Amino acid sequence: FIAVENIDSYCVLISSKAVYFLKSGDYMDREAIFLEVKYDDLYHCLVSKDHGNVYIQLTKKAVNTSSGVAMPGPSQQKPMV
């Protein structure tokens, strides 16, 4: 555990291994996690501002199913919070 930030209707919990985005309410409930990004799966992080809102775009590594190797590519996942 490193830090917790409350942001509007959700909470961001930062640990030494992953970042968790949780719905407001009971932070002890695993069901509250709507996005979990492990640092091993993270390829890139971008912070942007638009009309007074701040967004974090997390680019997760894609897994090449033929070789089993995690690498960036066209099938990257880019959740934006």
The string of pLDDT tens digits covering residues 23-56 is 876 556 778 888 888 988 888 888 888 888 878 8
Instruction: Name the domain count of the chain.
Output: 1
Is 33 a member of any domain? yes
* DSSP E strand stretches across 9-76: 10-14, 18-23, 33-38, 42-50, 53-60, 62-64, 69-71
Phi, psi of 41 (to 5 degrees): -95, -5
Query: What's the confidence (pLDDT) of residue 32?
Result: 84
Q: Which domain holds residue 24?
A: 3-60
- pTM to 2 decimals? 0.63
Query: What's the confidence (pLDDT) of residue 78?
Result: 60
Is 18 a member of any domain? yes
Q: What is the C-alpha to C-alpha distance for residues 54 and 56, in angstroms, rounded to an integer?
A: 7
Q: Hey, what are 62's tokens? A: 């894609």
